[in-house]
A and B are shown apart, each in its own frame.
Chain A
Amino acid sequence: MATANAAAVNLPDDPNVRGDVVLDEPVAGREPLVRGQHDFHSVTEMVCRVNEVPLKKTPMPFVFGTLLASAVFAMFGGYIGYLIWVGPGIWGNNNPVGWAWDIVNFVFWVGIGHAGTLISAILYLFRQKWRTSINRYAEAMTIFAVLAASSCVALHTGRVWMDYYLFPLPNQMGLWPNFRSPLEWDVFAVNTYLIVSLLFWYTGMVPDFATLRDRATVKWRQLFYGVLALGWRGSMRHWVTYEKAYQILAAFSAPLVLSVHTIVSFDFAVSQLPGWHTTIFPPYFVAGAIFSGFAMVQTLMLPARHWLGLKDLVTVKHIENMNKVILLTGSLVGYAYAMEFFVAAYSGNQYESFTFINRATGPYWWSYWIMLSCNVVTPQLFWFRKIRTSVGWSFVLSIFVNIGMWFERFVITVTSLHRDALVSSWDYFVPVTEALYLLGTFGLFFTLFLLFIRFFPVIAMSEVKGVMPQANPHWSGYDKKGHHAPAHAAVEEVHP
């Protein structure tokens, strides 16, 4: 894990310090994706080292972190038992606020997942090679976030043991689910998303599992990775099919990025409640999802790259690129907030206008202003290159974005509900035990994530090797017979 010799190969984070690799990129002066003097073997070493620490030598901070996370996870198990035993009355939900933290947490976690799919699918289709060193993390994050989301949405139904009615299973009453309902769309969207993300993640990991299998020195590792690697031997004939399959999975996952959160937004937008019933919701939710997801990737990745000694693979360039995405999607979200107000005013509908003025000045004004300051103001700091390329700033701002995006969902869900059409129905929602609910989902998420870091390859080694300049058989560092010439002797470029 946190290995001592990590520092030896890692360059400082100064974006102006470059590795000594010959730049063989189409754009002159473009920064290399892998910094430092790395060859294929040193990349393997750098990544596998994380997993190959013997079990008994697992660093103490990691052990404590995992124990803490799994203790919270265990608490979540207890909380779920309590919830099933007593019922959703353990929450502060009331009439009219029938949806509160259960749905807030669900939308929050599903949203986070979207960055992983964007990185793995959309950036892949757009040939953004920098994705290769961050996609594995991000995909893992997606899966664990969707699991956390599913745990929220599956538990909010009240009678949890009847959840199978969500699926179209034949039953003796001849009942079928209502396929015209957004809530049923959600069941299919989230489950498809979870399954497709898992397939994509696993497919990407098979060549790396094979690396770990081939390097294994202990019986259990050989067996564990051997089974997971499916007997992968890097055959070029397999690679051809594999790349096609990967491409197709990416092509199908890319619209999922847009469709899943669109369908989540339909849960709100298809209703006729002021504050929910707006056509801006699908794009606004998708932008928010990518925004929060990238922030979560930063939150997880910045400490990990430091402790795992992966600074040469996850470089400042990667951090900067992600901050640019945060800046873009943050601005889109800010625009959507402004547009919501404009549409409310322009509609001339007094209920609509009231809802929005009430959001900013009503009893939940604090949540609205937390949301606005975290989501609209903080990402704008990324206009400054100094802040964009600073690890410390990126980490702190990513936390702010995470907080802001949780509050966005709170604002949308709770403030729209607490003022009903009849003044006599107005009420104020106060959470009771919900904080444990949110904390529990974090326990679930971090337990899985820490185990992932410990046992699975955290960087897609085969993909990173594929984007290194040496991977091109016509790289200028090789002479025409294929022998490795000294890197600096390379003058002219040989094209295929």
Chain B
Amino acid sequence: MSESKIWGLLAQYENPAEIYHASEKVRDAGYEKWDACAPFPVHGLDKAMGAKPSKLPWAVLLIGLTGSSLMLFFESYTSGYAYPFIVGGKPLFSLPAFVPVWYEMSVLSSCLTAFFANWIMSGLPEPYHPAFASKAFERVTDDKFFIMIEAEDAKFDLEKTKALLADTGATLVEELKP
């Protein structure tokens, strides 16, 4: 079983147009456990890959709203109940005066969520990845474009997948060890 020792295949492309068309072909061939890597977000490549839109905005909405409501509650609780004190003739629950801090904390909770959810949803930080063993892959953050298909994919067949990648115009196809 030579295939069991292989994590997947890595194919290199030279420019955004090549990886765009190649991704369409890999998508249409029915692969699911595969990925395209690029030094910058190639416009429309997510659609060419058939990638689903991110759920991140929902996380931000949920936690942002929670943080926002908690802050308003906190301001009302401290100023109106825990430490009631009339300042400048304002009522204990003085909503207009609460707005700036309320607003800032809504922004802060949403931004912290966006920041952490971004990495968590992408499974980062990920110190090791099989592709990092490849010398060619070092240029993924420079000017080269890559497609990797995992051996775990139901449709994966070493020879056939290799042929498919070669057919999409890959300039280099490598086997990746786990």
| CB interface residues, B 26-78, toward A, < 8 Å | 35-46, 49, 51, 53-54, 56-57, 60, 74-75, 78
Q: Which of A171-212 contact B (CB under 8 A)?
A: 174-182, 184-185, 188-189, 192, 195-196, 199-200, 203, 207, 210-211
A92-135 contacts to B (CB < 8 Å): none
Return chain A residues, CB-CB under 8 Å to B138. 214-215
A214 → chain B closest CB, angstroms: 4
Q: Is the CB of A176 within 8 A of B79?
A: yes
User: Given A196-B107, A215-B138, A462-B39, is A184 in contact with B56 using a C-beta cutoff of 8 Å?
Assistant: no
Q: Tell me if A484 counts as interface (CB < 8 A to partner B).
A: yes
Cβ of A463 and Cβ of B101 under 8 Å apart? Answer: no
Distance between Cα atoms of A40 and B143 in the complex (Å): 5
| B151: A residues at CB distance < 8 A | none
A231 at the interface (CB under 8 A from B): yes
A90 within 8 A of B: no
Task: Please report the C-alpha to C-alpha distance between residue A226 and residue B117 in the assembled complex, in whole angstroms.
Answer: 20
Tell me which of A196, A238, A470, A475 has the highest count of chain B C-beta atoms within 10 A of its own C-beta: A238
Task: Check A210–B141 contact: CB distance below 8 A.
Answer: yes
Interface digits, A320-334 against B, CB 8 Å rule (1 contact, 0 not)?
000000000000000
From B41, B57, B100, B108, A242 is in contact (CB under 8 Å) with B41
Q: Which residues 74-119 of B have a CB within 8 angstroms of A?
A: 74-75, 78-79, 82-83, 85, 87-88, 90, 94, 97-98, 100-101, 103-105, 107-108, 110-112, 114-115, 117-119
Check: A235 CB closer than 8 A to any chain B CB.
yes
Number of chain B residues whose Cβ lies closer than 8 Å to a Cβ of chain A: 76
The interface-forming segment of B1-9, B124-132, B157-165 is B124-132
A67-84 to B contact mask, C-beta < 8 Å, 1/0: 000000000000000000
Give the nearest-CB partner of B52 in chain A.
Answer: A240
Instruction: For A241, give its contact among B18, B75, B101, B118 (CB under 8 Å).
Output: B118
Distance, CA A263 to CA B105, complexed state (A): 14
- Nearest to A187 among chain B residues (CB) is B101
Residue A279, interface by CB 8 Å:
no
Bitwise, A442-485 to B at CB < 8 A (1) or not (0) is: 00000000000000000001110110001111110010011110
User: Do A188 and B100 form a contact, CB below 8 Å, given A40-B142, A176-B79, A482-B18?
Assistant: yes
With contacts A180-B90, A232-B124 known, is A244 near B111, CB below 8 A?
Answer: no
Contact with A236, one of B21, B45, B114, B124 (Cβ below 8 angstroms): B45
A44 CA to B39 CA in the complex, in Å? 10
8 A Cβ contacts from A238-281 to B:
238-245, 248-249, 252-253, 255-256, 259, 263, 266
Partner of B45, one of A176, A177, A255, A473: A473
Is A233 part of the contact surface with B, judged by Cβ < 8 Å?
yes
**Of B19, B51, B87, which one neighbours A180 at CB under 8 angstroms?**
B87
Flag if A249 contacts B124 (CB, 8 Å): no
Is B172's beta carbon under 8 Å from chain A? Answer: no
Q: Which of A182, A232, A259 has the most CB of B within 10 A?
A: A232
For A168, the closest partner residue in chain B by CB is B78
**A180, B98: Cβ atoms closer than 8 Å:** yes
Q: Of A176, A240, A465, which one neighbours B40 at CB under 8 angstroms?
A: A465
A57 CB–B CB distance under 8 Å? no
**In the complex, chain A residues whose CB is within 8 Å of the CB of B78:** 168, 176-177, 179
On chain A, the residues within 8 Å of B21 by CB distance are: 473, 481-482
Chain B 129-149, CB-CB to A under 8 Å as 1, else 0, gives 101100001111111001000
Contact in complex: B43, A472 (CB < 8 Å): yes
> What is the bound-complex CA distance between A487 and B111, given in angstroms?
42
Interface residues on A, range: 35 or more
Q: From A237, A242, A244, A482, give the contact of B15 (CB < 8 A).
A: A482
Contact B79 A214 (CB under 8 A): no
Chain B's closest residue to A45 (CB) is B142
Minimum distance in angstroms from A475 CB to a CB of chain B: 7
Complex Cα distance, B144 from A39, in Å, reads 11
List the B side residues contacting A266 at CB < 8 Å. 100
Most buried by A among B124, B126, B128: B124
B139 contact set on A, CB distance < 8 A: 214
CB closest chain-B residue, reference A466: B40
- The reply to whether the CB of B153 lies closer than 8 angstroms to some CB of chain A is no
Smallest CB separation, A252 vs chain B (Å): 5
Contacts known (A199-B111, A244-B57); A230 close to B119, Cβ less than 8 A: yes
Interface string of A39-56 (1 = CB under 8 A from B): 111001000000000000
Check A234/B57 contact, CB under 8 A, given A239-B46, A478-B17: no
Task: Report the separation of the CA atoms of residues A211 and B45 in the bound assembly, to the nearest whole angstrom.
Answer: 21
Chain A residues with Cβ below 8 Å from B54 are: 240-241, 244-245
Contact of A245 among B13, B43, B118 (CB under 8 A): B118
Tell me whether A240 and B105 are in contact (CB under 8 A). no
Residues of the B chain whose Cβ atoms lie less than 8 Å from the Cβ of A483: 17-18
Q: Which residues of B contact A466 (CB under 8 A)?
A: 40-41, 43
Residue from A178, A182, A184 with most neighbouring chain B CB atoms (10 Å) = A178
B75 CB contact (under 8 Å) in A179, A230, A248: A179
List 20 A-B pairs, Cβ < 8 Å: A40-B143, A44-B39, A44-B143, A175-B83, A180-B97, A207-B40, A214-B139, A215-B142, A226-B127, A230-B119, A231-B127, A233-B132, A233-B137, A236-B35, A236-B45, A245-B56, A481-B169, A483-B18, A484-B14, A484-B15
Additional A-B contact list (17), CB under 8 Å, known A234-B38, A244-B118: A40-B142, A168-B78, A176-B79, A179-B98, A181-B87, A185-B101, A188-B101, A189-B104, A196-B108, A199-B111, A214-B139, A239-B46, A240-B53, A241-B54, A471-B40, A481-B169, A483-B17
